[in-house]
């Protein structure tokens, strides 16, 4: 049954000329990073989204580090799984042109994807909210371990903020590039996203052929040509092999 759905997905994708991927937190759960909205294991089952807003960070930056420190530690140590690697291989074969990701974990790059647009930023480092001085995340996490919370700028003493978009912040320039890619594409493969976070969930609207691979249903399932439900680390290697062999024949 799932195999049949995957073949239908490849039928759609292999007829497109310019396919892009849009990934969400679900692609990284099998690398040990919790997503936001999965029942029980999702972050929102245990944390308050308010602590991830820019308004809260401006008045009480400690909260982001107190609540997020464990997650930041997990993310910086995580390794790509079979689903990230499958996308990397598909890009290397020319079948996927760009990966647009809502993730901040840089696992696509570690999984060999090269053309990655990080529309919510990356946890690769942190910047001073006053003078923009940057530090690598390892230094920030070391401060946190030494109970220096929030970590402060060595130049001006203001709090350091991870290079990610908090709720309430403007989107980075990568989002405009993602919009351009979505307008250019005729196929989109969504992997591991609940598709409830705006404006990322507007991107599929620009693309004619939509395939969604996700464990749970999404609000855009009715707009998709094919929806495959299941675990990404099972589905993506199979989908990748099927698509590559279809291209070769």
Task: Please tell me whether residue 37 adopts helix, strand or coil conformation.
Answer: coil
> Hey, which residues are catalytic here?
120
Size of the site for ligand NAD (CB under 6 A): 28
Beta strands, E only, 28-137:
98-101, 116-118, 121-128, 134-136
The CA-based dihedral angle spanning residues 108, 109, 115, 116, taken in that order and rounded to the nearest 10 degrees:
50
Task: Report the C-alpha gap between 105 and 82 in whole angstroms.
Answer: 15
2 vs 156, beta carbon nearer ligand NAD:
2
The pairing of beta strand 209-214 with beta strand 187-191: parallel
6, 19, 33, 90: which one contacts ligand NAD (CB under 6 A)?
33
Q: Looking at 99-107, 110-118, 139-147, 170-178, which segment touches ligand NAD (CB under 6 A)?
A: 99-107
**Cα distance between residue 45 and residue 35, in whole Å:** 10
Cα distance from N-terminal residue to C-terminal residue, the chain = 24
Residue with smaller CB distance to ligand NAD, 68 or 151:
68
Q: Which one of residues 104, 141, 190, 203 is an interface residue with ligand NAD (CB under 6 A)?
A: 104
Peptide bond into 199 cis (omega under 30): yes
Give whichever of 37 and 240 is closer to ligand NAD, judged by the CB atom.
Answer: 37
Paired sense of beta strands 116-118 and 209-214, if any: unpaired
Q: Which is nearer to ligand NAD, 105 or 181 (CB)?
A: 105
Only one residue has tokens 């976070």, namely 197
What is the C-alpha separation between 56 and 167, in angstroms, rounded? 10
Distance of closest approach, residue 222 Cβ to ligand NAD, in angstroms: 16
> Which residues 172-211 are close enough to bind ligand NAD by CB under 6 A?
192-194, 196-197
Pick the binder of ligand NAD from 89, 207, 214, 242 (CB under 6 A): 214
**Binding status of residue 231 toward ligand NAD by CB under 6 A:** yes
**98 lies in the site for ligand NAD, by CB under 6 A:** no
Range 3-32, binding ligand NAD (CB under 6 A): 24-26, 28-30
The helix (H) or strand (E) run that includes residue 85 is helix 82-92
- Please name the residue ranges forming H helices in the chain: 2-14, 54-59, 62-77, 82-92, 107-110, 137-145, 173-184, 232-248
Site for ligand NAD in 115-154 (CB under 6 A): 120
**105: contact with ligand NAD by CB under 6 A:** yes
Q: Which of 138, 186, 208, 216 binds ligand NAD (CB under 6 A)?
A: 216
Q: Which residue is nearest to ligand NAD (CB)?
A: 26
The residues that touch ligand NAD, with contacts defined as CB under 6 A, are: 24-26, 28-30, 33, 35-38, 42-43, 102-105, 120, 192-194, 196-197, 214-216, 231-232
């Amino acid at each position: 049954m799932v195999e049949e759905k995957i073949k239908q997905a490849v039928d759609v994708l292999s007829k497109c000329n310019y396919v892009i991927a849009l990934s969400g937190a679900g692609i990284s759960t099998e690398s040990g990073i919790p997503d936001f909205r999965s029942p029980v294991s999702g972050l929102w089952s245990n944390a308050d989204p308010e602590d991830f807003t820019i308004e809260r960070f401006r008045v009480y930056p400690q909260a982001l580090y107190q609540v997020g420190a464990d997650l930041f530690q997990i993310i910086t140590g995580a390794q790509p799984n079979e689903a990230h690697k499958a996308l990397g291989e598909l890009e290397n074969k020319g079948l996927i042109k760009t990966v647009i990701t809502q993730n901040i974990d840089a696992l696509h790059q570690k999984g060999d994807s090269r053309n990655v647009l990080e529309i919510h930023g990356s946890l690769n480092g942190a910047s001073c909210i006053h003078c923009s001085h940057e530090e690598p995340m390892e230094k920030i996490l070391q401060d946190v371990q030494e109970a220096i919370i929030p970590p402060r700028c060595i130049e001006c003493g203001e709090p350091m903020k991870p290079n990610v978009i908090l709720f309430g912040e403007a989107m980075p320039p990568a989002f405009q590039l993602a919009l351009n890619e979505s307008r250019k594409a005729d196929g989109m493969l969504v992997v591991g996203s609940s598709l409830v976070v705006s404006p990322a969930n507007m991107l599929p609207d620009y693309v004619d052929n939509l395939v969604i691979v996700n464990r749970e249903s999404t609000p855009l399932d009715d707009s998709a040509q094919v929806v495959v439900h299941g675990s990404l680390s099972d589905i993506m290697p199979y989908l990748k092999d099927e698509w590559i062999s279809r291209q070769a024949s």
